[in-house]
Each structure stands twice: as structure tokens, then as C-alpha cells.
Structure 1
Amino acid sequence: MHTDTERCVRAVQSKDARFDGWFFTAVLTTRIYCRPSCPAVPPKPANMTFYPSSAACQQAGFRACKRCRPDTSPGSPEWNARADTVARAMRLIRDGVVDREGVPGLAARLGYSTRQIERQLRAELGAGPLALARAQRAQTARVLIETTALPMAEIAFAAGFASVRTFNDTVREVFALAPGELRARSARRAGNPSAAAGPRTPGAITLRLPYRAPLNPDNLFGHLAATAVPGVEEWRDGAYRRTLTLPYGHGIVALGPRPDHIACKLFLTDIRDLTIAISRARWLLDLDADPVAVDEQLRTDPLLRPLVDKAPGRRVPRTVDAAEFAVRAVLGQQVSTAAARTHAARLVTAHGEPVEDPEGGLGRLFPTPAALAGLDPEALALPRSRRATLTTLVAALADGTLRLGVDSDWDEARARLSALPGFGPWTVEVIAMRALGDPDAFLPTDLGMRRAAAGLGLPATPAALTAHAAAWRPWRAYAVQYLWATDDHPINFLPPDEKVPA
């Protein structure tokens, strides 16, 4: 979009927040870059130039605006709506792969050479993988500076910098403030919800997760709460909480809906996991979606339009771990939500690693495929065919035959899943929707979908419904959320007796 100068200028002049994260405005006279919705007086069009990423702005010598904080914009929706190499690379960089494994590790995961990855990212984003990772490290550092009382040396290494000197130089270059000045400025800012006074709970990191409005929290948090596995997930004090398995340790995240952001509180055993924990929280809640584009497309169907107009901004509830969700999808085949939770809870109790929760009732990590690899099928209270399906899936995940994650090629993952015994279209598509993040995943055989379709006058047979839904592409996964929401199932509502704080 950054190449459409006229459209970008109109977005900046109207301060349109819908385009935050889609592109960045660099001001030639001040050498500052902003988000499109920056509250400052817009510069003259002749003084504007546009970049596709904050990393490209920084590489061109621009520093982040202190008013609109463009580095905290929601991520570009493109990286969630596409499955090409650049989109997959961006999702991996967001997950901190470059910091942990370097550019060669990124390239190896994608099956390309480092030169090919470098060339593709520069062509589309104006910056290579190292510059993109550096911009993310700067944002992580800012979060830690402003929300914790950690010493700057600890923050430097937690954010992924190789040295304190590099950390200091990067913060000064990107934000035009020294780290200490950035912390003091945050503390002085009246009413700043992330002020450096520190979190209320010792050891907690609190921050706000931005999103593009509108966001309907009902089905998003309702689904997560209604399907929560005891010990791993819970709804407590107006927030969805769960345990996380992370590269350097484990953690607990609490996520609560607010009128203009998602309140996030994190407990981490190793603070180096902050970047990936935030990334997984955003992915779980689909916070980088573009609801305006989605809803505009779905409104073109006169039968869907009333559902969208009634409750716009529905998101797809995803997962923090694709392998975990695949296991849970098999456990949920042809059983109720309650039965699926029971089966999952038994696996967690028998094979999940115990953890401590400083604030609630969580006590286990969901077991990894490696931990489930030695599972005794006879110990599962499942039909024999379902046991075979589960053990085959776990074996494929444990030995690397099947790889599921944010970097997955959606078509290849579907093919590999379909080749496993017991994996029909419903199981494959629900994994594609919620674990892989395909916005066009579709469930025409789902009973709830067919019931909702019949009630609205849509075709009720899978083939006819699929043909009709061609007009909803590439957002059929969101259409599924609107159709599911016509039912009075608990997944479509915030848990009872809980009110969203003002």
C-alpha cells in the first residue's frame, strides 16, 4: 500500500487509524516517522514519504515519533492473510526466530538460502531480516523499560541485544532518547497505563495490546473460556489466563478485553521469552486482523449483512501452540465441548509439566508431542480408532514428519494432515483455521454451521454452502464465526457474572 502515495496522503490527512501498521509516514523535514493516525498536524504532502515497515524507516535514518509511538502499532494484516514466503518470514521474525537462530535459521525453516530471503524481504519491506529483527528488539526494549524496574543491562539481553552498548545505541537512534530518559519520560506521563511505577504483582509485566477497531470480544473470549482445559487455562477476574511453553522457559499470560486495547499481564521464568510471548498472545486473539476489510466483504452477502451489522469485528480465536491444538482437535472429534475438555485434562494431568501460578489456579503446561510420544493407547478413554488417530498424530509431530506452526505452508500442512488416519475435512480445516491462521479456512460439514445456514436461508448441504461461500473469500473463517454466533452455545458469550472493566 505504501506505493499508493495519493491514498496514503488521504489516510494521513484524515488520521485514519484503520491504516496503522499498513504503512508508516516519514517526514522529510523533521526526520521523524509516524503512524497514519498521528495526532500531530499532518505535514505537507511534499514532505511525506511512505515505508512499508518501521524497520525500513529506521534504516533510512528516521526516528520514531514520541507522540503516536508508531512502533506500537498493530502489525500489518498482510502477514496473517497470506501464506507466501515473505508472510511466513514475517511471522517467524515476529516470533523471535532471527534472535534465537539467526538469518540462517530463518532461511532453513523456509527452505530458501539466506540470500533469497534477504532479497525477498528487501524488495517488499525495504529492510532485510536483521533490520526487521532489530526494530522488534527496540520495541521489546521499550516495553521493558517502561513497564518494569529491571536494570538496563538485564533489559538489553532480555530484548535480544548482543551488548549493552548496542542496546543503548539502538534505543537512542530509534527513539531519540537514552534508555534512562525513556523510562523517566514514561513515569512522568500523566495517566500513562504503562508507567514505570511498576506492575502491581511482583514479577509481572503489564502492557496494552493494540488492535484495529472494532473488536467483538464475545465469541473470542467466550470460545477460549468455554473450551478451557483445567490446569492449563481458566477465566478469572475478567481475563482469560493460560500457561505457555516458551523457548527459554515457561510463562503465564492473562488477557482481558478493554474498550480500546487488550490488557495483558505476563509472568515469565526467563524474560528473554517476552517477544515470543507477546507475539503468541496477539496471534491467539487475532489482533492484527483488519476487521473493516473483513466485514466489508462479508456485508456484500445480504444474508450475512444483518449478522455483521449487529456485532461487527468478530475475530477468529486461535491458539498459542499449533501442535497442542491439533491434539485437542482430535480429542474433540464427534464429542461435546465438555467431553473434549475432560479428555484433554486427563492428558494434562498425566503428562503435563507442573508449574506455579502466582495469581490463580493454573498448574500445568500442556504436554509437548515429545512428552506424549510414549503414550499408552490403552490408557486413553477413547474409541480404538480415535486412539490410533491420536497416537499417529503425536508420533508425526514428535519426529518432525509433520510440522505445524506460524511458518507452515497452509496447502502442504493440509495435505500432510489429510494423509493421517482419522483426519477428515472438518479436523483438517479447524486446524487450518485456528492453529495455522488461514483466514479462508471453511467448515461446511460442521453441524453448527449447517444449522446456522439453514436458519438464515443459506444452502444447507456442504457442497451448496461451499459454492455460495465463494463470494466470502478470502475471509470464510470469519464468516464461520458470524454463523456460529447465531447459536446460544457458551462459546459465543463472555462467561456469566463477569463484566468487562470500564
Structure 2
Amino acid sequence: MAGRFAPRPPSHATVRDAVPVPRSGSVPRQAAGPRTRTWVPEGPYDLGLVLGVLRRGGGDPTFRATRDGSVWRATRTPAGPGTLRVYACGGEVRGEAWGPGAEWLLDRLPELLGAADEPDVFEPRHRLVALARHRRPGLRLTRTGLVLESLIPSVLEQKVTADEAYRAWRRLVSWFGEPAPGPAGTGERPMWVMPAPRTWALIPSWEWHRAGVDDKRASTILRAVRLAARLEQTAGMPPAEARARLEVVPGVGPWTSAEVVQRSHGAPDAVTTGDLHLPRIVGWALAGNRDADDAEMLRLLEPYAPEGQRHRAARYVLLSGNTPARRHPKMRRTDIARW
């Protein structure tokens, strides 16, 4: 694989010499303060639990949770880059947005916060699931309406440890992305908006290598960004149809498509198959079987299939914290950038 990469640029060249990236001054700013919107959830609500699935590691440059309980997101919308700050105040949730994508983000704020979700239709069929739901009643399934922002980091997570994937996402976004509009884009730890599809397509091969991304995952992302418009259209499709279109892209399989629609569509039945850990966790929690495979996991989740709630049931299993003890060492961490 290393032999396919072109020579690195001279030592005096910076990462940004490879791909032109707009400077912070070129990002449109709002003349006045942020645009705002308020949404009132029905019943118990846990903001961190709802939006936490969008975070790709503790150092994710597109996501930040602050001590005051706010959640910040820097994202690329169809209207352009935007920054969203969301926080709970009393019985309501307030959103503030900056940048060209501010209006788009606020228009879809309720869906992002889980307004389109229907948690009341869920009926626990296992005592452990019922207990987890009782302890964490504020779970809602987010719906971002954005596909590439979930697809690209999901591809980076294929066949590697979470640490490796998060490191690659952090490097690529901070190297080639745009500063987040508004106050989040400044300071000692600025947030970044992920690169535009064209920018992803122009990243040189040696920079993928430097970020720790092998040729297979990089090629999948390059194929996806060339079809960005067609893939973003899937946000308006039913989850099953969206997954079918996503899986037309070579390198995108059932595991990746499920991880995407769980976030972009808030799909309650899109259970992840092909995962290294999830079948064992579900098998152990629901049947004491630490060697369960995908088939066994789906069998255990079958009671939730008629209502289309298998992914939600799996989420509650994970929230229960009932996981089997580790029998083998963790997967060895690697960094191909050092090869």
C-alpha cells in the first residue's frame, strides 16, 4: 500500500499547501448575533444522550459538549457551513446558530432533537431493556437530515479501532475543513466544519496516509463524495431505500449504511450487523451468550422487529452497561502514518 503513495511535499510546505482551504476571513459571518429557536420536548428528555451519538471521539473538532450543558455542532448544510449551540433551559431546549447554514439548522432543530421519533411505541420485551429504559427515559433518536457527515466518519471506522478512526477524522477535518462560523471557530480550541465534497476529492494520497487512512477506506470516501448529491438525496427516503442506495457505492456495506441512517434518518430498526462487539454484547445481556454472532443477535432482537424497534432495543442494551468481561487483549493500535 505504501508504494502507491506519491512523495510527500517538501518539509517547508504545509498541509494546506496541498489543498486550498478557505481562510477564516472568507467564511461568511452574521452581522448581528445568532439566530435562535426554542423547542419544547414532551416527557423526559436527555440532550446529551440524544446528540451524543454524533460525537466521533473526545477530540472531535465538529462536536463539543461544554460544562454549562451546551452541545455545539459545526456542520456543513446544503446552505453552507453552520454552527449550532443547543442547551436545555427549564422545560425547553434552545438553539442558537451562526453562519450561512444557520437557518437550515434551526428549521430542522426539532428533528435533530428527536421530535420525529416515537419512543412511546416501544415496548420492552426483556427485563434488562425495560430497566434500562426506566433509568434513561430521556432517550430520543436524532435525525440530522445529513448523509455525508455520517457516512465519511463511518467509513473511517471500518475494520480499525475506534481510536484510529477518531484520530483520522480529527486530522482530516482540522487539516482540510473550514473554521466554524461564529464564536466556536475562534479561540485556543476552534471547531471546524468538515470539508466540502470537492475538497475531499482533492486530498492527495500522501495526506490520507499521513492521517492514518489506508487506500481501501480512502477510495471508498472518494467514490462517495463524487456521488455526494445523489447520496444526500437519500435523507428524504425511507431508511431501507436509503440504505440500498448507499450500498451501491463499492466499499459501503450493511454495517456502514446502518450506522449512517441511524443518525441521518433516526431509523429505530436499523440494527448494526457486521460489528465486532455488538452481537456479543446483545447476546450476553439478553441470553448470557458471549459468543453470539449476527444471526443470534437478530434472533434475540426479533421481538422488536414487528414494531421496527430493533436498533432502539440495542441502544437500551448498550445503555444498560451489561457487557461481558474481556477475554482477549484489545485490538492492537496502529498508525500507518508511521510506516
Deviation at 1:401, TM superposition (A): 4.7
Equivalence for 1:251: 82
8 Å Cα contact 1:410/1:432 also seen in 2: yes
Equivalence for 1:280: 108
Distance 2:96 2:132 in 1: 32
Deviation at 1:427, TM superposition (A): 1.0
Equivalence for 1:475: 309
Equivalence for 1:368: 196
Give the aligned CA root-mean-square deviation in angstroms: 2.9
After superposition, the Cα gap between the structure-2 partners of 1:231 and 1:310, relative to the gap in structure 1 and judged at 3 Å, is closer
Of the candidates 285, 290, 305, which is equivalent to residue 456 of structure 1? Answer: 285
Of the candidates 262, 287, 299, which is equivalent to residue 93 of structure 2? Answer: 262
Report whether the alignment pairs 1:388 with 2:213: no
Deviation at 1:279, TM superposition (A): 3.5
Matches within 5 A, 1:134-283: 203-225=33-55, 227=57, 230-236=60-66, 237-258=68-89, 260-269=91-100, 273-274=102-103, 276-283=104-111
After superposition, the Cα gap between the structure-2 partners of 1:488 and 1:222, relative to the gap in structure 1 and judged at 3 Å, is farther
Distance 1:265 1:485 in 2: 29
**Count of aligned pairs between the two proteins:** 281
Q: Which has the higher helix share?
A: 1
Equivalence for 2:260: 431
AA at the equivalent of 1:285 = L
Deviation at 1:396, TM superposition (A): 2.4
8 Å Cα contact 1:292/1:313 also seen in 2: no
Identity of aligned residues (%): 24
AA at the equivalent of 2:43 = A
Q: Tell me, what secondary structure is at the counterpart of 1:389?
A: helix
8 Å Cα contact 1:214/1:312 also seen in 2: yes
Tell me whether 314-323 or 379-388 shows the greater mean CA deviation.
314-323
After superposition, the Cα gap between the structure-2 partners of 1:254 and 1:268, relative to the gap in structure 1 and judged at 3 Å, is same
What are the Cα deviations for residues 431-490 of structure 1, in whole angstroms up to 9, with x where unaligned? 12112332210114334422332332336221122133222131222112212213499x
8 Å Cα contact 2:64/2:72 also seen in 1: yes
TM-score (norm 2): 0.72
AA at the equivalent of 2:138 = G
Distance 2:120 2:240 in 1: 27
Of the candidates 236, 239, 263, which is equivalent to residue 407 of structure 1? Answer: 236
Deviation at 1:221, TM superposition (A): 4.1
Distance 2:300 2:284 in 1: 15
Distance 1:227 1:317 in 2: 18
AA at the equivalent of 2:40 = P
AA at the equivalent of 1:345 = R
Equivalence for 2:170: 345
8 Å Cα contact 2:128/2:320 also seen in 1: no
Q: Which runs of 5+ in 2 are unaligned?
A: 1-31, 324-339
Q: Tell me, what secondary structure is at the counterpart of 1:406?
A: helix
8 Å Cα contact 1:230/1:362 also seen in 2: no
Give the number of the structure whose alpha-carbon radius of gyration is greater: 1
Distance 2:263 2:170 in 1: 20
Q: Which runs of 5+ in 1 are unaligned?
A: 1-201, 490-502
TM-score (norm 1): 0.50
Distance 2:69 2:50 in 1: 13
8 Å Cα contact 1:232/1:365 also seen in 2: yes
Greater RCO between the two (CA within 8 Å, min separation 6)?
2
Distance 1:210 1:227 in 2: 29
Equivalence for 1:496: none
Deviation at 1:225, TM superposition (A): 4.6
Equivalence for 1:443: 272
After superposition, the Cα gap between the structure-2 partners of 1:363 and 1:216, relative to the gap in structure 1 and judged at 3 Å, is closer
